[in-house]
Each structure stands twice: as C-alpha cells, then as structure tokens.
Amino acid sequence: MTTQEHETGRRAVKAVIPAAGLATRFLPATKAVPKELLPVVDRPVLQYIVEEAAAAGITDVLLVTGRGKTSMVDHFDRRPDVEARLEEKGDKERLAAVRRTSELADIYTCRQGEPLGLGHAVGVAASHVGDNAFAVLLGDEFVEQDRPLLPAMLDLQARTGGIVLAFIEVAPEETSRYGIASVKESEFGEDIVEVTGLVEKPSPAEAPSNLAVVGRYVLPAKIFEAINNTKPGSGGEIQLTDAMAQLLTEGTPVHGIVYRGHRYDTGMPLGYLQTVVEIAAKRPDFGAEFRQWLGEFVAGGAKG
C-alpha cells in the first residue's frame, strides 16, 4: 500500500477524550470523584484538556464516560443559577470564567459500559466520529498552553493520512512505564520521526529508543476496524497500541512528533501534585506570592 491510498488533505475536527477508566492509581480519591475532575488550582484537569483541543481548532469533543462519571459532562453545562448570583455580586471575572466552560466546544458524550481498555474506549466513539480522522486526548494529561502540541499533529496527519503520535524523551530507567517506539528519520524534518514499531513497557535493555508515547493521538477512521479485530492483550484489555500496530503492519504510515515542552501527568498523586505546584507557580494573579511561600517552606526544611 502506498501513502497515496491514505486519505489526505483534511484536518481532523473532532476529538475523543476517553475518561471511563477506573483510576486505580489514585484511589481512594477517585472512588466517587473522577480523576478527570480533580482540580488543578481552580479548574479541573479535564478543562485544561478541552481548552487544548479548542485552541487547536477542534470544536466537537466526545467524552467517553462510564459509571459514576456523568459529573464530568455537567462541568461543561451552563449554570444559570450560579451565573445570576455572580451577576448580582458584580463578579465579572468569575462570571466570565464560569460561562467560558460552556463555550469552549460542543461537548458530546457516550458510554463505555465496562472499562475494557483504551482501545475499546476509543472503539465506542466510532459512530460519533464517522469516516474522518480524529484526535484522541487522554483525560489525565495535558501540555503547556503556550507550547501546544496538537496543531502540529493535526497538520501532519492531514499530510500523511496515517497515524500521528506524540513522544517525550524519557530517561532509560523510565522506559518500563511507557509505550516505547522504534523509529527512523522522516522526510518531515527534525523532531518528526517515522515509527517502525511500538513496544509496551520495555525494560531499559529491551527499549528500542527513549521515545515514550504520551496521551495524544491523531488517528484515521480505519482504526475502528483494527480495534474490532483486536483481541484482549495485556491485562485482558483491548489495547489501542495493538490496533495501531496492526495498521502499521498493513502499511499505514505512522509518525511521531517529539514534544519539547512540559507534559503534565495527573494520573497519580505525585504527578498530580507536581502539576498543581507548577501551574500555581505560573499564575499571573498569585504565582509570585505562592512561589515565595513555597521557597520559604522548602528552605524551612520541609521534611519527608
């Protein structure tokens, strides 16, 4: 199969956010509260992700939810009662912030009846997505707002018609926590590589590179057929990686963009705390005060 046979030219306009997982690494906080709604300063993680999609020109966002997760969708609804109270108080800033959540994108939702894996979660989006390429944004990580990643991924996918992944470079001892790619140079320039294979969580000795897959994908619609053909893999789950590997074997071009900005991973307590501290320290309104306090706290010998 040649690249010419892959549909090119059209930029994806829909995004899918799989958010139906059990979030076991963050229990017990996530027994009743989805990890996607944990606050990073004054916005839930999920809002940063929808903002990332909206800033890349995506106006149609599908949230894949599961049991106990409907509150995620409520966050993007209008709240006329809250808005009226803020209006009465003359709190224009908060009023604008509350309204903004319902204006970011058109939010749709569908259910993954059982958390059978990331591949399965993407699969339930098939009828909403239709025949065009689309983005997948995992619900517990996001990137720096002023160093976006998605626009370049969407542009590249429109050129190749294939799969576009995002990578970060990790230290050798960290490879066993990620999907790692084997790659070769691409015709698209520095920081864009052609992917020749993917290995799930390899030991440092087995890792083909230090390029780790992060939670942003732009996929052609034929991924759905590949997901349907994918048998449960590691952990008994239907893995997106297995479905992508199938397309790669069949000749679909797969490229990856190496992201040089900072990726925030909020799926576990440590990464979540680091994210909150970093974002708080950058806040224009109270970042300076927070940094000063943090400096004093650390200098004062905060003990483990």
Q: By Cβ distance, which residue is nearest to ligand UTP? A: 21
C-beta of 18 vs 162, nearer to ligand UTP: 18
Q: How many helices (H) and strands (E) does the chain have?
A: 11, 13
Q: Is 123 in the site for ligand UTP (CB under 6 A)?
A: no
C-beta of 233 vs 287, nearer to ligand UTP: 233
H/E stretch holding 94: helix 92-103
Strand bridging mode 134-137 / 14-18: parallel
Q: Is 116 in the site for ligand UTP (CB under 6 A)?
A: yes
Please choose, out of 21-29, 162-170, 183-191, 244-252, the segment that lies near ligand UTP by the rule CB under 6 A. 21-29
C-beta of 139 vs 256, nearer to ligand UTP: 139
Distances (CA, A) of 8 to 4, 59, 61: 8, 20, 22
CA distance 293 to 270: 20
Lay out the site mask for ligand UTP across 60-79 (x = CB under 6 A, - = otherwise): ----x---------------
Let me know the angle formed at the C-alpha of 37 by 121 and 99, rounded to the nearest 5 degrees.
110
C-beta of 19 vs 243, nearer to ligand UTP: 19
Q: Which of 18, 123, 179, 220 binds ligand UTP (CB under 6 A)?
A: 18
Q: Which of 139, 161, 253, 256 binds ligand UTP (CB under 6 A)?
A: 139
Instruction: Name 157's Cβ contacts closer than 8 Å, sequence gap at least 6.
Output: 11, 12, 133, 163, 164, 218, 220
Nearest approach, Cβ of 269 to ligand UTP (angstroms)?
11
Q: Which of 12, 15, 16, 20 binds ligand UTP (CB under 6 A)?
A: 20
Q: Which of 50, 86, 117, 156 binds ligand UTP (CB under 6 A)?
A: 117
Q: Which of 12, 15, 16, 23 binds ligand UTP (CB under 6 A)?
A: 23
Residue 23 three-state SS: coil
Instruction: Name 299's Cβ contacts closer than 8 Å, sequence gap at least 6.
Output: none
Q: Is 112 in the site for ligand UTP (CB under 6 A)?
A: yes
Closest of 304, 193, 206, 207 to residue 255, by C-alpha: 193
Site for ligand UTP in 265-304 (CB under 6 A): 267
Please choose, out of 52-60, 84-92, 134-142, 145-153, the segment that lies near ligand UTP by the rule CB under 6 A. 134-142
Closest of 146, 87, 122 to residue 242, by C-alpha: 122
Instruction: Name 288's Cβ contacts closer than 8 Å, sequence gap at least 6.
Output: none
CA distance 162 to 101: 32
Q: Is 239 in the site for ligand UTP (CB under 6 A)?
A: no
* Interacting residues with ligand UTP (CB under 6 A): 18-25, 64, 112, 115-118, 120-121, 138-140, 267
